[in-house]
Structure 1
Amino acid sequence: MSTTTVKEILAGKSAEILSVTPDISVYAALELMAKADISAVLVLEGERLVGIFTERDYARKVILRGRSSRESSIGELMTQNLLTISPNHTVDDIMSIMTENRFRHLPVVDHGKLVGIVTIGDAVKAVMEEQRQTIAQLSSYIAGDLTT
């Protein structure tokens, strides 16, 4: 059971939140995503979170429908009605939410303000770090027992 919180995950990440506006072209958003080596971008109107655009959205809503990425806007194709999490959620919470809803990115909102995004990769890294720490503690405990 993981006790790491979203707040702790965000503390280890860059504070920069990459985002686009709904009127930007899909092509421009894809350029940004490629340059930043990310697979999703949040969509904001001012400071208000209105959607997310992912590589999956691109594949299913642009490519498979024969649309043009240069002529389509993010606002037409983004995923809306987002599920968000708070900084107090745990890694177990987010892994459960991601698994049940079949997505890999969760925007983090604190008191109505967007504070970050957590990915499935972030969750896996947190679990691996907890396991590494547990193994180190157990190894130290065992080594201590063997030397007494």
Structure 2
Amino acid sequence: MIYTICITCTVYEALEVLEEKNLGALVVVDESGKLIGIFTERDYARKVVLKGRSSKETHVSDIMTDDPVFVSPDTEIEYCMQLMTNKFIRHLPVIENNELTGIISIGDIVKHVINSKDFIIQHLEHYIVS
């Protein structure tokens, strides 16, 4: 499931969704559902709390990260890791045919790497025993 927030919503509304869904980021979309930004806990901490703004009066559009880096469904995991590391980001929207189809988090990447290593270890153990 992809959780989104509208550009005109307040930061407070976005924080409510983050808390309710236990998320670290929301994809910001326009009226047509097109990706226009990302709102993260980091955006909130740096652009609201530290600047003395009010989360009930500040709009998501005022603090979101616009022009987000995104990937396609066929983007290799290693490239996603490289993008996240180089750009200091933790979330990558997935776009296919100009439509938002998902989002990859750093947690998703870590789970994939661990599962891949577990599979290799199991395969090697089976090979050694056989």
Give the alignment's TM-score, normalised by structure 2.
0.97
Q: Which runs of 5+ in 2 are unaligned?
A: none
**Superimposed CA distance per residue, residues 82-121 of structure 1 (whole angstroms, 9 cap, x where no aligned partner):** 1110001111010000000001000000121100000011
* 1:30 aligns to 2:15 (yes or no): yes
Partners of 2:119 and 2:26 lie apart in 1 by: 32
Runs of 4+ with >6 A deviation: none
- Higher relative contact order (CA closer than 8 Å, sequence separation 6+): 1
Match of 2:117 in 1: 131
Cα distance, 1:33 vs structure 2:
0.4
The structure that has the greater radius of gyration is 1
Local SS of the residue matching 1:59: helix
Cα distance, 1:131 vs structure 2:
0.5
Let me know the Cα RMSD of the aligned residues.
0.6
Q: Which runs of 5+ in 1 are unaligned?
A: 1-15
| Amino-acid identity (%) | 40
1:1-148 to structure 2, matched below 5 A, reads 16-45=1-30, 46-144=32-130
Partners of 2:76 and 2:110 lie apart in 1 by: 12
Match of 1:7 in 2: none
Partners of 2:23 and 2:15 lie apart in 1 by: 9
